[in-house]
Structure 1
Amino acid sequence: MADSLKRIRQQPREVWAVKLADRITNLQKPPHFWIPEKIEKYRQEATMILKELRGGNTYLENRLQRKIEEYNAD
Protein backbone atom coordinates (compact mmCIF):
# COMPACT_ATOMS: atom_id res chain seq x y z
CA MET A 1 0.00 0.00 0.00
CA ALA A 2 2.80 2.45 0.86
CA ASP A 3 4.41 2.04 -2.58
CA SER A 4 1.06 2.55 -4.30
CA LEU A 5 0.39 5.72 -2.32
CA LYS A 6 3.87 7.02 -3.08
CA ARG A 7 3.19 6.62 -6.82
CA ILE A 8 -0.22 8.28 -6.47
CA ARG A 9 1.34 11.27 -4.68
CA GLN A 10 3.48 11.86 -7.77
CA GLN A 11 0.34 12.20 -9.90
CA PRO A 12 -2.03 15.17 -10.29
CA ARG A 13 -4.43 15.81 -7.41
CA GLU A 14 -7.30 14.44 -9.50
CA VAL A 15 -5.69 10.99 -9.20
CA TRP A 16 -5.56 11.42 -5.43
CA ALA A 17 -9.28 12.20 -5.50
CA VAL A 18 -10.00 8.95 -7.34
CA LYS A 19 -8.17 6.94 -4.65
CA LEU A 20 -9.97 8.77 -1.85
CA ALA A 21 -13.34 8.25 -3.52
CA ASP A 22 -12.55 4.59 -4.15
CA ARG A 23 -11.88 3.92 -0.48
CA ILE A 24 -14.98 5.89 0.55
CA THR A 25 -17.06 3.61 -1.66
CA ASN A 26 -15.32 0.47 -0.39
CA LEU A 27 -15.86 1.29 3.29
CA GLN A 28 -19.31 -0.23 3.34
CA LYS A 29 -20.28 -2.76 5.99
CA PRO A 30 -17.67 -5.53 5.74
CA PRO A 31 -18.73 -8.95 4.50
CA HIS A 32 -20.01 -11.17 7.30
CA PHE A 33 -17.22 -13.69 6.70
CA TRP A 34 -14.38 -11.21 7.31
CA ILE A 35 -12.56 -11.85 10.56
CA PRO A 36 -12.02 -8.92 12.95
CA GLU A 37 -8.31 -8.73 12.06
CA LYS A 38 -9.10 -8.24 8.37
CA ILE A 39 -11.65 -5.56 9.18
CA GLU A 40 -9.12 -3.72 11.33
CA LYS A 41 -6.43 -3.99 8.64
CA TYR A 42 -8.82 -2.50 6.07
CA ARG A 43 -9.63 0.36 8.45
CA GLN A 44 -5.92 0.97 9.03
CA GLU A 45 -5.31 1.07 5.28
CA ALA A 46 -8.07 3.66 4.93
CA THR A 47 -6.42 5.73 7.65
CA MET A 48 -3.08 5.48 5.83
CA ILE A 49 -4.70 6.58 2.56
CA LEU A 50 -6.24 9.57 4.31
CA LYS A 51 -2.94 10.54 5.95
CA GLU A 52 -0.85 10.17 2.78
CA LEU A 53 -3.29 11.95 0.46
CA ARG A 54 -4.23 14.78 2.80
CA GLY A 55 -4.21 18.11 1.03
CA GLY A 56 -5.54 16.78 -2.24
CA ASN A 57 -9.27 17.25 -1.81
CA THR A 58 -10.71 18.54 1.48
CA TYR A 59 -14.26 17.43 0.70
CA LEU A 60 -13.26 13.83 -0.01
CA GLU A 61 -10.87 13.79 2.94
CA ASN A 62 -13.70 14.78 5.27
CA ARG A 63 -16.00 12.16 3.78
CA LEU A 64 -13.34 9.47 4.15
CA GLN A 65 -12.73 10.49 7.77
CA ARG A 66 -16.46 10.08 8.50
CA LYS A 67 -16.55 6.70 6.73
CA ILE A 68 -13.58 5.50 8.79
CA GLU A 69 -15.36 6.55 11.99
CA GLU A 70 -18.56 4.82 10.89
CA TYR A 71 -16.60 1.71 9.91
CA ASN A 72 -15.21 1.56 13.45
CA ALA A 73 -18.71 1.73 14.87
CA ASP A 74 -19.96 -1.32 12.91
Structure 2
Amino acid sequence: MTRVDITETVVTQLAELLDSGELDQPTNWMGTQFLAQDFGFEELATFVFEADAATYYEAVRRAEKQAETDIELP
Protein backbone atom coordinates (compact mmCIF):
# COMPACT_ATOMS: atom_id res chain seq x y z
CA MET A 1 0.00 0.00 0.00
CA THR A 2 1.32 3.38 -1.00
CA ARG A 3 0.26 6.90 -1.73
CA VAL A 4 -1.55 6.83 -5.09
CA ASP A 5 -3.42 9.48 -7.05
CA ILE A 6 -7.04 10.08 -6.12
CA THR A 7 -8.79 10.48 -9.46
CA GLU A 8 -12.15 12.12 -10.00
CA THR A 9 -13.49 8.72 -11.10
CA VAL A 10 -12.48 7.21 -7.76
CA VAL A 11 -14.22 10.01 -5.85
CA THR A 12 -17.36 9.75 -7.99
CA GLN A 13 -17.55 5.97 -7.68
CA LEU A 14 -16.96 6.14 -3.94
CA ALA A 15 -19.69 8.78 -3.61
CA GLU A 16 -22.06 6.44 -5.47
CA LEU A 17 -21.27 3.66 -3.00
CA LEU A 18 -21.94 6.03 -0.11
CA ASP A 19 -25.24 7.10 -1.68
CA SER A 20 -26.26 3.47 -2.23
CA GLY A 21 -26.62 2.84 1.50
CA GLU A 22 -24.95 -0.54 1.10
CA LEU A 23 -21.65 0.54 2.62
CA ASP A 24 -22.09 0.11 6.38
CA GLN A 25 -18.68 1.42 7.43
CA PRO A 26 -17.04 3.81 4.93
CA THR A 27 -13.76 3.49 6.79
CA ASN A 28 -13.75 -0.29 6.22
CA TRP A 29 -11.55 -0.38 3.14
CA MET A 30 -11.98 -4.11 2.57
CA GLY A 31 -15.78 -3.83 2.54
CA THR A 32 -15.46 -0.90 0.15
CA GLN A 33 -13.23 -2.92 -2.17
CA PHE A 34 -15.68 -5.84 -2.33
CA LEU A 35 -18.67 -3.56 -2.85
CA ALA A 36 -16.81 -1.68 -5.59
CA GLN A 37 -16.27 -4.99 -7.37
CA ASP A 38 -19.97 -5.82 -6.97
CA PHE A 39 -20.87 -2.47 -8.57
CA GLY A 40 -18.35 -3.01 -11.37
CA PHE A 41 -16.20 -0.08 -10.21
CA GLU A 42 -12.83 -1.55 -11.17
CA GLU A 43 -10.93 1.74 -10.85
CA LEU A 44 -12.20 2.20 -7.29
CA ALA A 45 -11.50 -1.44 -6.39
CA THR A 46 -7.93 -1.12 -7.67
CA PHE A 47 -7.47 2.18 -5.85
CA VAL A 48 -8.63 0.70 -2.54
CA PHE A 49 -6.27 -2.26 -3.00
CA GLU A 50 -3.24 -0.07 -3.76
CA ALA A 51 -3.81 2.98 -1.54
CA ASP A 52 -2.45 3.40 1.94
CA ALA A 53 -4.86 4.20 4.77
CA ALA A 54 -4.27 7.95 4.71
CA THR A 55 -4.89 8.15 0.97
CA TYR A 56 -8.03 6.03 1.23
CA TYR A 57 -9.37 8.14 4.09
CA GLU A 58 -8.72 11.32 2.08
CA ALA A 59 -10.73 9.85 -0.80
CA VAL A 60 -13.59 9.02 1.58
CA ARG A 61 -13.58 12.63 2.83
CA ARG A 62 -13.76 13.94 -0.76
CA ALA A 63 -16.51 11.50 -1.68
CA GLU A 64 -18.49 12.47 1.42
CA LYS A 65 -18.62 16.06 0.14
CA GLN A 66 -19.88 14.84 -3.24
CA ALA A 67 -22.38 12.29 -1.88
CA GLU A 68 -26.01 13.22 -1.56
CA THR A 69 -26.37 11.50 1.76
CA ASP A 70 -24.96 12.39 5.16
CA ILE A 71 -22.52 9.90 6.56
CA GLU A 72 -20.72 9.91 9.84
CA LEU A 73 -16.98 9.77 9.70
CA PRO A 74 -14.76 9.65 12.76
Q: TM-score range by the shorter chain?
A: 0.3 to 0.5
The TM-score with structure 1 as length reference comes to 0.34
Higher helix share: 1
Structure label with greater radius of gyration = 1
The TM-score with structure 2 as length reference comes to 0.34
